[in-house]
Amino acid sequence: MKTLMTSLTFLAGALAGSGTDKPQGADNFYQSAKVTMRKVTFKTQYKTNVAGNLFVPTTLARDSKHPAIIVGHPMGAVKEQSANLYAQKLADQGFVTLSIDLPFWGGSEGDPRNAVMPDLYAEAFSAGVDFLGSQEFVDRGRIGALGICGSGSFVISAAKIDPRMKAVATVSMYDMGAANRDALNHSQTVEQRKQIIAQAAEQRWKEADGAKTELTGGTVHELTADTHPIQREFYDFYRTSRGQFTPEGSSPNATTHPTLSSNVKFMNFYPFADIETISPRPMLFITGDAAHSKEFSEQAYNLAGEPKELVMVPGASHVDLYDRVDLIPWDKLTSFFTANLKPAADTAPASGAATP
């Protein structure tokens, strides 16, 4: 069912353009008094370490089994940016949640730092299922997954071959493959794509000869009169107190930027291929109707099998749904995971209750 969110009030919270004031309701560094947080590490199938934060409701009965949700951060971010917020808000509703750092980012292993490896990003979600399933208070048959921005495409990639993920949701999803091959709205030509590939190949030669790793893309570090509106949107989150975070061992100059020679790995990443095979496990796609990225959620919704749901949040931009707690449809996420992570004897998979 395609749903238009109409019950949210948003007009008073226009996106701040100056990069100095937070938009209304922005609360990326939210800390819940209703949950306990434990830093954890766990192994991927390839014996590398993934770092995460495990959130458990303080009232949770640990002598019984409960549903759990893995949460992945935006591409170029770390778990402290958006993922922790979502994980805690869902833990407030009674779920056990796990926010993770993707391999090569944040506290997770991987060298060089900020390298792009879509298969290992997807593997981190499956490794998160392994970890959650090892907790005595988690029901192995009731584990869901949520990906924000780029992690939306990584969680889809993972879920296609890991049926242990019983319900999959994405927020402000980017298809990182299409975004790099074609750019937004298919605005990049094949010739431009080839130029990017050639530049990465040349940098790979340099690094093979001993040159230092170079970074690319990411969010600008200062605004000018010519800064693109989309870059301004990301700047307001990643380069201000609203969402700025530098992981231990990194530098503010490196945050958000993938490595130049590895970023072309996304050219071979096709997360929506065979997305319909996730069915009959339910999928929920949430995007803002003003989001520059909404094309990816719409395409995924159109390709996915039933049951599925697309939620458009009125007035919300791409980054608004990273941290603006007054715009993020928490009730929809809660009802979706509640309906679809019930004990097997209670209910068959469903697409989620009607929009609150």
Would the pLDDT of 343 be above 80?
yes
Q: Where residue 346 falls among pLDDT bands split at 50, 70, 90?
A: low
pLDDT tens digits, one per residue of 67-104? 999 999 999 999 999 999 999 999 999 999 999 999 99
pLDDT tens digits, one per residue of 193-239? 999 999 999 999 999 999 999 999 999 999 999 999 999 999 999 99
Tell me the three-class secondary structure of the chain, residue by residue: CEEECCCCCCCCCCCCCCCCCCCCCECCCCCCCCEEEEEEEEECCCCCEEEEEEEEECCCCCCCCEEEEEEECCCCCCCCCCHHHHHHHHHCCCCEEEEECCCCCCCCCCCCCCCCCHHHHHHHHHHHHHHHHCCCCEEEEEEEEEEECCHHHHHHHHHHCCCCEEEEEEECCCCHHHHHHCCHHHCCCHHHHHHHHHHHHHHHHHHHCCCCCCECCCCCCCCCCCCCHHHHHHHHHHCCCCCCCCCCCCCCCCCCCCECCCHHHHHHCCCCCCHHHHCCCCEEEEEECCCCCHHHHHHHHHHCCCCEEEEEECCCCCCHHHHECCCCCHHHHHHHHHHHCCCCCCCCCCCCCCCC
- pTM here is 0.92
For a pLDDT cut of 90, what percent of the chain falls above it?
A: 90
For residues 4-16, average pLDDT: 33
